[in-house]
C-alpha cells in the first residue's frame, strides 16, 4: 500500500522541517504533500526537503485546504496531521496496521485523558462534541476534531462533504461512519504546539453542531 502523509499549512516555518523529518523517520517512503497558504517560508522549506507542495491562494481556510489535501494524495492511504508538532508520528505504524486489517478510517483521540497541552475548556468542549456524536450517530468516539487520521483513498472517493466553513474534521469522520465504512479509534498523546494557533473557538463550536446535526441525513451505501 502506497502512503501519502498530507498536511495543510499556514505559516508553519518554525515547525515544518521538524515535522517532515519526524515523518520521514517513521515512514521514509511515503509521499509528503502540503496544501500551503503561508506568507512565510513554509512552502520553500518543505520543497527543499522533497515534499510536494500545492499552493492555495488566496487562503480559503481549513476546510477547502484539508479537502484538497486528502483528494490530491496519490497514495492508497492518506494520513493527515497538523504541521505544528502536536501529533505523535510514533502512532503512524499502528494506524497503518489497522488500515491493513480492513478499517477504512482510523481516527485518533487526543482526549482519552486530559492532555497537559490542551486548555481545560477545549478538553471539555471536545468531550462534549464527541458525546453529541455518540448520541446522534452511535459512533463510539471521544474526539471528533482530531487532525491526525488515516483514510483509505478509495473511501475518500466515495464520500462527499461541504468543505466550506469550520469544523470539517467532524464531517470527515461522521459521514464515512454513517455511510457504513469501518472506523477505528486509538488514543494518542497531544503535544505542545510550535507557533500560533488558527483555531476560532466560537465559529468552530457552531459549525460542529451544524455538521453533527446535518449528518443525520447520510444513509448507508
Ligand X SMILES: Nc1nc2c(ncn2[C@@H]2O[C@H](COP(=O)(O)OP(=O)(O)OP(=O)(O)O)[C@@H](O)[C@H]2O)c(=O)[nH]1
Binding site for ligand X (CB under 6 A): 7-10, 12, 35-37, 56, 59, 61-62, 65, 82-84, 86, 147, 193, 197-199
Question: 51-55: long-range contacts at Cβ-Cβ below 8 A with a sequence spacing of 24 or more?
Answer: 51/20
Sequence-distant (6+) residues with CB within 8 A of 50 are 32
User: Smallest distance from the beta carbon of 167 to ligand X, in angstroms?
Assistant: 10
> Count of residues for the chain?
221
Residue 67, interface with Mg ion (CB under 5 A)?
no
Q: Does residue 82 interact with Mg ion by CB under 5 A? A: yes
Q: How far is the CB of 112 from Mg ion (least distance, A)?
A: 18
Shortest distance in whole angstroms from residue 141 CB to Mg ion: 19
- Residue 85 found at the interface with Mg ion (CB under 5 A): no
Residue 41 backbone zone (phi > 0: left; psi -120 to 50: alpha; other: beta): alpha
Dist. CA 117–CA 153, nearest whole Å = 31
Residue 29 Cβ, how far from ligand X at the closest point, in Å? Answer: 23
Q: Which of 37, 41, 71 is nearest to 54 (CA)?
A: 37
**Between 156 and 218, CB nearer to ligand X:** 156
Among residues 59 and 182, whose Cβ is nearest to ligand X?
Answer: 59
Q: Could you give the 3-state DSSP secondary structure of residue 184?
A: strand
Alpha-carbon torsion, ordered 54, 58, 62, 68, to 10 deg: -30
Distance, CA of 88 to chain centre: 13
C-beta of 118 vs 174, nearer to ligand X: 118
Phi, psi of 79, rounded to the nearest 5 degrees: -115, 130
Interaction residues for Mg ion, span 123-142 (CB under 5 A): none
The pattern of x and - marking residues 178 through 197 that bind Mg ion according to CB under 5 A reads: --------------------
For Mg ion, the closer CB: 181 or 190 = 190
Q: Does 84 bind Mg ion (CB under 5 A)?
A: yes
Taking the C-alpha atoms of residue 168 and residue 210, their distance in angstroms, rounded to an integer, is 11
Under rule CB under 5 A, residue 13 binds Mg ion: no
Least Å distance, CB 87 to ligand X, is 9
Q: What's the min distance (Å) between Cβ of 14 and ligand X?
A: 11
Which residues sit at the interface with Mg ion, rule CB under 5 A?
Answer: 82, 84, 86
Amino acid at each position: 500500500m502506497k502512503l501519502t502523509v498530507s498536511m495543510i499549512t499556514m505559516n508553519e516555518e518554525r515547525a515544518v522541517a521538524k515535522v517532515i523529518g519526524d515523518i520521514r523517520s517513521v515512514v521514509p517512503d511515503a509521499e509528503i504533500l502540503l496544501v500551503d497558504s503561508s506568507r512565510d517560508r513554509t512552502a520553500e522549506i518543505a520543497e527543499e526537503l522533497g515534499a510536494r507542495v500545492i499552493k492555495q491562494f488566496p487562503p480559503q481556510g481549513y476546510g477547502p485546504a484539508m479537502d484538497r489535501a486528502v483528494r490530491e494524495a496519490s497514495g492508497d492511504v492518506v494520513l493527515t496531521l497538523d504541521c505544528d508538532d502536536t501529533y505523535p508520528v510514533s502512532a503512524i505504524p499502528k494506524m497503518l496496521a489497522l488500515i491493513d486489517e480492513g478499517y477504512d478510517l482510523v481516527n485518533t483521540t487526543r482526549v482519552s485523558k486530559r492532555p497537559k497541552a490542551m486548555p481545560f475548556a477545549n478538553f471539555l468542549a471536545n468531550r462534549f462534541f464527541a458525546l453529541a456524536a455518540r448520541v446522534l450517530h452511535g459512533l463510539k468516539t471521544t474526539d471528533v476534531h482530531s487532525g491526525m487520521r488515516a483514510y483509505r483513498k478509495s473511501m475518500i472517493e466515495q464520500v462527499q462533504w461541504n468543505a466550506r466553513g469550520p469544523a470539517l474534521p467532524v464531517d470527515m469522520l461522521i459521514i464515512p461512519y454513517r455511510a457504513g465504512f469501518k472506523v477505528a479509534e486509538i488514543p494518542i498523546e497531544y503535544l505542545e504546539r510550535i507557533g500560533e494557533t488558527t483555531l476560532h473557538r466560537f465559529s468552530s463550536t457552531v459549525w460542529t453542531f451544524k455538521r453533527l446535526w446535518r449528518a443525520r441525513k447520510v444513509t448507508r451505501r
